[in-house]
Amino acid sequence: MTTQKLIMKKFLNDPENIAAELLEGYTLAYADKVSLMSEKIVVRTHPKSKDKVALVTLGGAGHEPALSGFVGEGMLDASVVGDIFAAPGAPKLLEALKTFNREAGILLVVLNHAGDVMSANMAMELAKREGLNVRMLLTHEDISAGLDTPDEDRRGLAGCVPLFKVAGAAAEAGKSLDEVLEIAERFNKQMATLAVAMTGATHPQNGQAISELPDDEMEIGMGQHGEAGGGRTKILSADETAQRMIEPLISAVDAKAGDKTMLIINGVGATTLMEMNLIFRKAYRVLEAQGIEVISGLVDEILTVQEMAGFQMILCKLDADHVPLLKAPCDTPYWTVR
């Protein structure tokens, strides 16, 4: 992380209150779907039946709409929110786990980032002592470190969002905790994400740049907090960039002719829908040329990094049971299927 402090052009009040104020505004805007259970715990306004598995996640603020944007019918039951780019503490997560404890159980979905994992492991230990019925799933679909990198060394990126959809639909359908976990684990293993950045972002609480790139360069593999990716190059065209990114994703999920997939282009804050649709077009055509079917596509911002320019490309190879789960109804502020 660089220490350079930039002039921020942002609409802010007290920087220390950003997370609390954004959650207040968010839950007021979508009061029919989400509400604040207590400070920094976002829950469904209309709770799921207690005989069904609950889904809980955690993560820092500053990545909106993730993760709280996907709390609602058919997806998450609760999102435990930290400060900007910082994991919530274990006591806050334990509070949510105790609230949602039930005979059917809880699936805790955690993105593989050091702070999130530390808080989750501590909360899981405390939950175990209290006899709570909770299982944990770690997402780790970033392939920027190489296809042979162990799962524990891969970061969790925006692939968590379609995983919320699949696991949430399974839970809503009344499947057991073991079944929901198995479906989500299988989906987790069959998705891969690669990110690219053209510009960095600033930390909204202190104005410091969290990453920097020369004006004529981009970096493939940059993490969502500006972590280095190792693939720095001069800026390529949309087609060249898409081609360079989709090929390793196809290899990572071992997609072959006849396979069904979901392709997502997730904008990270400052790249336009126009640009992202150009990228989707080329990636789709590469898959099509190899006989790989894209049965579900999405071009949107689902996990952002303030004003960073770039995107994350996510490819998920789908089993037969994943398809109806993706198509099942859900009703959250930022993902709705009717």
pLDDT tens profile 29-61: 999 999 999 999 999 999 999 999 999 999 999
> Are residues 109 and 253 both part of a single domain?
no
d(CA 75, CA 73): 6
Reading the block at residue 265, the tokens are: 């282009």
d(CA 35, CA 37): 6
pLDDT band at 2 (very low <50, low <70, confident <90, very high): very low
Average pLDDT, integer, range 311-331: 98
Residue range of the domain that includes 217: 190-320
Q: Of 126, 155, 189, which closes a domain?
A: 189
Region for residue 72 given its phi and psi (left: phi exceeds 0; alpha: psi -120 to 50; beta: otherwise): left
> Are residues 170 and 254 both part of a single domain?
no
Q: Are 251 and 284 in contact (CB under 8 A)?
A: no
Domain count, the chain: 2
Q: State the chain's mean pLDDT as an integer.
A: 95
pTM of the predicted structure, to 2 decimals: 0.96
pLDDT band at 8 (very low <50, low <70, confident <90, very high): confident
Angle, helices 273-289/238-253, rounded to nearest 10 degrees: 50
- We report the CATH number of the domain holding residue 281 as 3.30.1180.20
Q: Are 213 and 197 in contact (CB under 8 A)?
A: yes
Write out the catalytic residue numbers. 63, 225
> Are residues 202 and 98 both part of a single domain?
no
Residue 312's nearest CA partner among 252, 215, 245, 262 is 245
pLDDT of residue 66: 98
Q: Of 150, 165, 189, which closes a domain?
A: 189
> Are residues 36 and 172 both part of a single domain?
yes
Instruction: State percent of the chain over pLDDT 90.
Output: 88
